[in-house]
Structure 1
Amino acid sequence: MLNNAQGLMQAAGMDMNAEEPIVPKKNPAKIAAIPATPAAAAMPAYLQKLQAAIATKISAADKAEADKLLQANGSNVNAANAAVGLWMGKMPLQALYVMSKAAVADATNPNTLNNYASMLSMAGAEQLALPILQRLNQQYPRNSTILNNIGQAWLGLGDLLKAEQYLDSAIRIYPGHSQANLAKANIAESKGNTKAAAEAIRKSLDESFSNDKVNQLRKYGERYNGSNLRLPSSMPADALGLHRFTWPAYPVTVEQSQLLEKEWQQLKEQCRKEGEVLKQKFERTQQQAFEEQEQRNKALFAYNPLSGAPPPQPLPPFAEAASIKLRYYIEDKDGGQQFRIQKLAQAMADAHQKVALLDQQRQADLKAVQEKYDPLIGEGRPNPLEAYCAEYNAVNSKFLAAANPLLERSYKNWLDENLRRLNNEMYYYQYIQWPTQFEATKLQAKISWLSAIADQPVQFAALGPFCKSKPQTPPSGKGLAEFDDIACQYNSTMDLGVFQITSNCSRLSGHIKLGPVEYNRKIDMDKDILLAASLEVTAGVSKGWEKGPVAAEAKAEVRGKLEWNEKQMTNWTVTADAGVSVGSNLGYGDKSIEIAGATAQIGMNSGPSLSGRGLLQGVQIK
C-alpha cells in the first residue's frame, strides 16, 4: 500500500517518480474555477452548495463515525471546535463533514468560516476556500490569520506572487507568524534564495519550535542558536532555593578565627553527611531512570505503525527546544558559560597565588617575632608574655585581614555563577529529561552545591604562644537550609469536544475522546492523516473580536498556541494574565491551565504542506 502522503499526492495527479516539489506548480484550471466572492447575504447559499459538494467526497461510514463521536461526547460539544479536534485526531474527512455542517448552521461566525476555509485549502480545495476567505478579509481587514490562510491558498494553487503578497501582509502585522514564515521559507528556497529562506525559517522557529524546522535551517547551511526561543513557562530566579544556604563569615582577626573555625568545621560536616544521603538517593534514582529508559527503548523497537496507536515518544515534547536553549546559554549568552567559568577559575587561582605570597610574608614576620622574644622568655628573664602574644596575633590578624577578603570575593563570584548555572540547567533539564532522570539530575545539582559551599578555602590562624584563650562559645548548632523542589509547573489541557490535548514538561499528547460508547475503526493509511497547521486559541475576557478570527496579535486573558507537523504535535503553550480565573483554572503563581472547547475561540492557520492535496481532488460546486 502507498503511504498516506504518497497516496494523496498521486491522487492529486503528482508524478511520484519526480523529485518532491518545494512549492506546488501553478494550476490554471483550479485558479479559473475560483467562484466569485459571495456577498454577506449570499454566504449561506454558498456554504450549502459547498456542503453538498463536500458530501460527495465523504463516505457514509465516515459521516456516521463523526456523528457517533459527537453524540458520545454530549450535547454541549461545540461542533466547530470538535471539527478541529477531529482534524488533529487524523480524521480530516470527518472533520470536514462536521465543519461543513457547523458553517451552514452559523454562516456568520468568523472563526468557524476561517477554520472551514483553512481545512478546505489544506485538503486540496483552495479554489473553494478563497471565496470564504476573501469575504472574511473584506469584513475583517488586517487580520493575520485570514491573510495567512489566503496566502497559503494561493500557494496551494501555485500562484507564488499572490501568495507572497498575502503572506507578507500577515507577517507585517505579526512578524513572528509561524506558518506564514514557514511558507515564505519554502518560496524563497524554490527561488534559490537560501539566505531569505533561512531568515524566514528562523522567525518561524522563534515563534513555534519543531525539529523539522531546525533541520530545514540546517539544510540552508545555518544553525539555530535559540536566542529568541521561548519555552512554555518562565525561568524562576532560584528554583532550587540555593540562596537560602548560608555559611559563617570569613575571619579577619585571630580572635574571630577561634570562634569561626568551629562553625566552619560544623558546616563542612553537615554538608558531608547530607551529601552522603543525597548520593544514596541519586544512585537509587539513577538506576530507576535507567530501567525506565530500557522500557521506553523496548516500546520504541516494538512499535507497529500500522496498529493505529500513537507512537511512543522518544523524547519529552520540549526536549529538543530546551537543548538548543541550554546550548545557547552554555556557548553564546554573555560570552558563554565556559568563558565565564574559565575567567572565574583564573580569578580564584590568582587569589590563591596572592594568598600564598601573603602567607610567605606571614611566616617571615612570625619568625622575626619569635627571634625577638625567644631570648626574653625563660627563668630569670623579663618574660614579656603579653607583648609576645599581642605581636604574634597581630601578624596572624594582618594575614587574615588581607587573605580572607581576597578568597571570599573570588569564591563569592564562583558560587554566584554556580547558583545561576545550577538553577538554569535545572530549568532546561525539566524539559529535556524524563521525570525520573530529572529527579536524579536534581540530586546531582544539590550534591554539587553542597560540595561548592564546603570547599571554600577559608584561612584560619591559631593564637600566639602564651596567649590566654577566652571562653569559647559553642557552635550555633544551626542546621543546613532545605532545598526547594523544582517540579514541572506547566500543565495544561484543551478540550475540543471529541479531542483532548494534554501537555506538561514531559508529555504532549492528544487523543480522541470516546465517551461511554464502544468504538472500533479500521485505520485507512491513505485518509487518516495529520495535515500540518497551527491554532491560535483564546479564552476568558478577550479584546479585538471586531477584528475577526483569532489571530496571533489578539489580546486575551488566556491564550494558547498549538502547532503540529505531519507526524505529531510539535508545540503547545498556554499563557495567561496573572490572577486570571475566567475560562481556566489558573490562579496567580499556578502554571496549570484548562481551556474548554465549548467556550474557546479558535483560529486555524493553514500550513504549506502538500500532503493533503488529494483529499478533495476534483470537488466542484454545481
Structure 2
Amino acid sequence: MRIIIFLLLISFMIKPAFSQTPSKKEMQQQMLEMSNELNIQIADLEKQIADAKKNKADEETIKELQDQLAMLKKQVAMMGGLNKQIGKVSEKTFQQANEEGKNIVPKRDATRINSLPKKILSDAELVTYVKNLVDEVEKALPAAEKTEALKIYNQTKEKYKSAAAISNAATGCWIYGHWEKALFLAGRACQDNMKDPNNLNTYASFLTMADGEQAALPILQYLDKKYPENSTILNNIGQAWFGLGDMENAKKYLKNAINSYPDHSMANLTMSTIYKSEGDTSNAIKAIKRSIKKAYTEDKDHELEKLGGKLEDDDIEFNYPMEDDPLGFDPFFNVFPSAPAGVAEAPKAWSEWNAFDEAIEDLSKKIAPDEEAAGKRAEQFMMKMANPTFNQPVLKLHKTNARNIAVRKLPLALKKKSAVTIEDVMKEVANGFHDATTNRLNALEKQREADMARITAKWAKCEGSLNKPAYCSDVNGECREREAVNDNFMKQAEAIINDGRAAMLKVYRQNKAKINQYIKLTGYGALNDYAERMQNFSKEVWQQNQWLYTYTANFTSTYKSLLDRPKMFSKCGEDLSSAPKQTKQLPGFKKPDCPHSATVKLPVGKIKEKCNTTKIDESKLKMKQDNAQQGDFEFKVGDVTVLDEDDDVHLKIGEITEITDEETSSVTNGPEKKESSDPSKTFNVECDNSGNIHININKIDSQKSGNDNNIIKSTVNSGSTGNTSSLTGFGSHLMLTR
C-alpha cells in the first residue's frame, strides 16, 4: 500500500498532463522533462553568478543567486532519486494505484467487518481487549520508532506521573508527523489509565487514521454505550465505519453527530463525500459548506468548487480578535469646530475653523512621507518574494488558519458589504451630512437673501435728498437690521448643521463594524516579513505594513470634505479676518498591535501562534518533513493569552476571556463534546479518514470554559478525503487481532 501512496504523491507533483494516474513510462518521461528544465535553469543561473562576480556585483545579489542555484540542484537530485524509486515499481502496481484512485468512498471490507465483536464489550472485556491490542500494535511498529517512543514515555511518566500527559505526548507526536510514536504512546496511556475515556478515545482515533478501523470500533462502541449522544464519539464511530466501507452505519453515526452539533466540521466533510458518491450533489454542497463554516481549508474550498457550489461570506466564520477602532478614527468625529450660533460667536468660530483647516493640512503632510516609505518597503518585499529562497520561510511562518481564512473571506465580505473600505464609508458619511442639511440650508439662505433684499429696498429710500423717511436719521440702522438677519440665519443654521453632524455620526457608527471587519481581515491576511529569514512575529514589523498607512491616508484625504465650513457673518464694523489666531491639535492615529496570541504546550514541544504566524518548537521533537503522512499543519484557538512557562501535566491554553459559561462536569461525561464547554478535562481527539484530527482543548484551572473555537487542527495525511482506504491515514491496514 505504501508504494501506491508513493505513486499517487508523485503523480500530484508532476505536471497535470494526465487525466488519470499515468503509466510508469509516462511518469518517468515527464520527470525527465522536468529535470531537463531544471538543468537549463541551473546553467542560466551559473552564468548569471559568473557575470555578477565578473562585474563585481554586491555580495547580497550574488548570495541570492547562489541560494537559488543550490535549491535547484537539490530539486534535480530529488527528481533523480524519485526516478530510481519508480524504476523499481512494476507496471501492475501503477495500474492498481490508478484503480484505487478512482473510488470516491472505500469499498466495503467484509473481512474486517466480520472480525468485529458481536456485542459491546464489558468493562472487564475492554481491559483485556485493549491490553492485547496494544501489544499487537507495538509488534507491528518499527523497532527504531518503538525505542524512541519508549524514551518519550519513560521521560513523560517520570516527569508528570500522569497518563493524561502521556496521551498529550501522543497527540503531539501525531501533530509533528511521528504517527508510529503517537500510536505507541496513546496505547501506553490507555494501559496506564483504562478508566479515562479521553485516553481510549484518542487511541481509537489514531487507530482509525492508521487504517485500523476494525481495531478502533470495539473501543468506540464501548464508549458510546457509556456516554450516549456524545458528538465526539459519534463522529469517530462514523469515521471508522466509513473507513470500513459500511456507508449505512457511517451515515447513521455521522448524522447523529451532526444532529448534536450541526456545524461539526469533520462529520460534515465525510458526509459530503458520501453524498457525492450517491450522486446527491445538493446535499454534498450543503454538508461541505457546514464543514467549512468553522474550519475552512483550501482543500474543502476546492472540493466545493468541483461540486459546483459557490462560497459566500456567511459560509466562513472569522472569530479572531481585533481591538475596537484599531486605527483611531472615532475621536476625529468629535473634534469638528462648532458652527456659530450667532454673530457674537463668529470671530471665535472663524479662528477655530482656520486652525482646523491648517491642522488637516499638517496631518496630510505628516502622513505622506510615512505612506511613501511604506510603499517602498512593500515594493522591495514583493521583489524579494519572487525568490523562493526568501519567500519559503515567509510563507511557512504565515501558514495559519488566521491568514488563510482572512485572505479567502475578505473578497467575499467586500462583495456582501459586511466589510467596507474607509473610502466607501466616508462617502456615505458625507452623504449623510449633506442629505440632512443641503436642502434646509439652501432654503434658509434663500430666506436670508430675501430679507437682505427687503432691507436693501428699504434703505434705498434714504439715498435721495428730499422726503426721506424718519428712520433714515439712524446711521447704524441698516447695519443693525442686516446683523439681525445674519444672527437669525446663523442660529437656525447651527441647528441644521448639528442635525447633519448627528446624521453623519450615525452613518459612521452604523458602518463601524464593517470598517473594523475590513481592517481585521486585511491585517490578518497580510504577510509581515520585511526582514529576511525572520523566524518570529514582530509587532514592529506588523505595524509597518503598507495597508496601515494607506488606510489612514485615505481617511485623512476625505475627512476635511465631510462637512462644509459654515457661513459666518460679523457684527457691524467687525472684521472676522482680524480675529485672534488659534491652533488646533487633531487626534493621532493608532498603530494597533495584533491581539491574537496563544501557546499550546505539549510534552514533546510547543506551538506558539501570534497574530497570523505560527512558530513550532522543535527542540524536543523534529517535524517529519519526509514523512509520507506529513501534511499541512494548522493551529487554531480562540481569544487566548500566551501561557506561562510551567510544567503542568495538562495541555493548556491561556485564559479564555470571551466565554462566560460556568458549567462544570466530571470525567463521567465522557470525551469532550464538540459543542460542549466543559473545563474539567485536558482535551480529546476527533478524526476523519484523511488523517485529520481536531483536538478540543479546555482550560483546567478556571471556571471559564472553552467552545468550538478552541481547537488544534492538524492535517497529517497522504491523501484526500473520499479516496479509498489505501490512501487514508498511513496507507497500510493494521490488521490487528484481539
TM class, shorter-length: 0.7 to 0.9
Change (3 A) 1:239 1:204: same
In structure 2, how many angstroms separate the alpha carbons of the residues matched to 1:261 and 1:563?
A: 68
Structure 2 counterpart of 1:267: 356
In structure 2, how many angstroms separate the alpha carbons of the residues matched to 1:489 and 1:534?
A: 14
Matched, 1:550 2:672: yes
Q: Give the 3-state SS of the residue equivalent to 2:599 in structure 1.
A: strand
Structure 2 counterpart of 1:441: 547
Structure 2 counterpart of 1:396: 486
Q: Give the 3-state SS of the residue equivalent to 2:380 in structure 1.
A: helix
What CA RMSD, in Å, does the superposition of the two structures yield over aligned residues?
4.7
Q: CA deviation at 1:183?
A: 1.0
Q: CA deviation at 1:66?
A: 2.7
Contact 1:115/1:603 (CA < 8 Å) preserved in 2?
no
Amino acid at match of 1:619: M
Q: Give the 3-state SS of the residue equivalent to 1:76 in structure 2.
A: helix
Contact 1:299/1:312 (CA < 8 Å) preserved in 2?
no
Structure 1 counterpart of 2:525: 432
Structure 1 counterpart of 2:586: 480
Structure 2 counterpart of 1:620: 736
Q: Give the 3-state SS of the residue equivalent to 2:126 in structure 1.
A: helix
Equivalent runs, 1:380-395 vs 2, <5 Å? 382=472, 384-395=474-485
In structure 2, how many angstroms separate the alpha carbons of the residues matched to 1:573 and 1:113?
A: 15
Q: Give the 3-state SS of the residue equivalent to 2:598 in structure 1.
A: strand
Select which of 104, 122, 130 maps to 1:39. 122
Q: CA deviation at 1:378?
A: 11
Change (3 A) 1:508 1:388: same
Contact 1:4/1:529 (CA < 8 Å) preserved in 2?
no
Equivalent runs, 1:162-561 vs 2, <5 Å? 162-227=249-314, 229-234=316-321, 236-245=323-332, 246-299=335-388, 312=396, 317-332=401-416, 350=435, 351-352=437-438, 355=441, 359=445, 362-363=448-449, 365-373=451-459, 376=462, 382=472, 384-400=474-490, 401-402=492-493, 404-405=497-498, 407-409=500-502, 411-413=504-506, 415-416=508-509, 419-435=512-528, 436=541, 439-463=545-569, 466-468=572-574, 474=580, 477=583, 479-514=585-620, 524-526=626-628, 528=630, 542-543=664-665, 545-557=667-679
1:77-109, CA deviations, whole angstroms, 9 ceiling, x for partnerless residues? Answer: 611111111111111112112212222222221
Amino acid at match of 2:665: K
Contact 2:601/2:652 (CA < 8 Å) preserved in 1?
no
Contact 1:144/1:551 (CA < 8 Å) preserved in 2?
yes
How high is the TM-score relative to the length of structure 1? 0.80
Select which of 59, 62, 67 maps to 2:142. 59
Amino acid at match of 2:149: A
In structure 1, how many angstroms separate the alpha carbons of the residues matched to 2:233 and 2:284?
A: 23
Structure 2 counterpart of 1:306: none
Amino acid at match of 2:115: A
Q: Give the 3-state SS of the residue equivalent to 1:434 in structure 2.
A: coil
1:322-370, CA deviations, whole angstroms, 9 ceiling, x for partnerless residues? Answer: 2454445433257988998776665556554664565455445434433
Amino acid at match of 1:53: E
Select which of 6, 25, 30 maps to 2:8. 6
Contact 2:173/2:181 (CA < 8 Å) preserved in 1?
yes
Change (3 A) 1:277 1:581: farther
Specify which structure has the bigger relative contact order, considering alpha-carbon pairs within 8 angstroms and separated by 6 or more residues. Answer: 1
Amino acid at match of 1:125: G
Amino acid at match of 1:388: E
In structure 1, how many angstroms separate the alpha carbons of the residues matched to 2:198 and 2:715?
A: 8
Change (3 A) 1:259 1:376: farther
Q: CA deviation at 1:191?
A: 1.0
Contact 2:238/2:250 (CA < 8 Å) preserved in 1?
yes
How high is the TM-score relative to the length of structure 2? 0.69
In structure 2, how many angstroms separate the alpha carbons of the residues matched to 1:470 and 1:617?
A: 91
1:345-398, CA deviations, whole angstroms, 9 ceiling, x for partnerless residues? Answer: 655565546645654554454344334335647999836444322332344345
Q: CA deviation at 1:116?
A: 0.5
Structure 2 gap segments, 5+ residues each: 11-20, 22-88, 529-540, 639-650, 656-661
Structure 1 counterpart of 2:31: none
In structure 2, how many angstroms separate the alpha carbons of the residues matched to 1:533 and 1:284?
A: 34
Bigger Cα displacement from structure 2, 67-76 vs 140-149: 67-76
Q: Give the 3-state SS of the residue equivalent to 1:449 in structure 2.
A: helix
Q: CA deviation at 1:243?
A: 2.4
Bigger Cα displacement from structure 2, 501-510 vs 286-295: 286-295
Structure 1 counterpart of 2:78: none
Q: Give the 3-state SS of the residue equivalent to 1:494 in structure 2.
A: strand
Change (3 A) 1:154 1:544: same
Change (3 A) 1:477 1:522: closer
In structure 1, how many angstroms separate the alpha carbons of the residues matched to 2:634 and 2:322?
A: 30
Structure 1 counterpart of 2:174: 87
Structure 2 counterpart of 1:117: 204
Bigger Cα displacement from structure 2, 543-552 vs 417-426: 417-426
In structure 2, how many angstroms separate the alpha carbons of the residues matched to 1:491 and 1:505?
A: 6
1:142-175, CA deviations, whole angstroms, 9 ceiling, x for partnerless residues? Answer: 1111110000000001111101111111111112
In structure 1, how many angstroms separate the alpha carbons of the residues matched to 2:698 and 2:578?
A: 57
In structure 2, how many angstroms separate the alpha carbons of the residues matched to 1:527 and 1:334?
A: 39
In structure 1, how many angstroms separate the alpha carbons of the residues matched to 2:685 and 2:319?
A: 11
Amino acid at match of 1:463: F
Structure 2 counterpart of 1:29: 111
Name the % identity: 23
Q: CA deviation at 1:525?
A: 4.2
In structure 1, how many angstroms separate the alpha carbons of the residues matched to 2:547 and 2:625?
A: 41
Task: Looking at secondary structure, tell me which structure has more helix per residue.
Answer: 2
1:306-330, CA deviations, whole angstroms, 9 ceiling, x for partnerless residues? Answer: xxx9972566642342245444543
Amino acid at match of 2:306: K
In structure 1, how many angstroms separate the alpha carbons of the residues matched to 2:508 and 2:635?
A: 46
Amino acid at match of 1:98: L
In structure 2, how many angstroms separate the alpha carbons of the residues matched to 1:174 and 1:72?
A: 38
Structure 1 counterpart of 2:61: none
In structure 2, how many angstroms separate the alpha carbons of the residues matched to 1:556 and 1:199?
A: 29
In structure 1, how many angstroms separate the alpha carbons of the residues matched to 2:322 and 2:238?
A: 36
Amino acid at match of 1:433: A
Q: CA deviation at 1:552?
A: 1.3
Q: CA deviation at 1:59?
A: 0.9
- Number of residue pairs the alignment of both structures matches: 599
Structure 1 counterpart of 2:643: none
1:380-417, CA deviations, whole angstroms, 9 ceiling, x for partnerless residues? Answer: 98364443223323443454434635653554445446
Q: CA deviation at 1:470?
A: 9.6
Contact 1:549/1:602 (CA < 8 Å) preserved in 2?
no
Change (3 A) 1:212 1:399: farther
1:501-532, CA deviations, whole angstroms, 9 ceiling, x for partnerless residues? Answer: 222222134444427xxx7x986544556799
Q: CA deviation at 1:193?
A: 1.1
In structure 2, how many angstroms separate the alpha carbons of the residues matched to 1:129 and 1:570?
A: 15
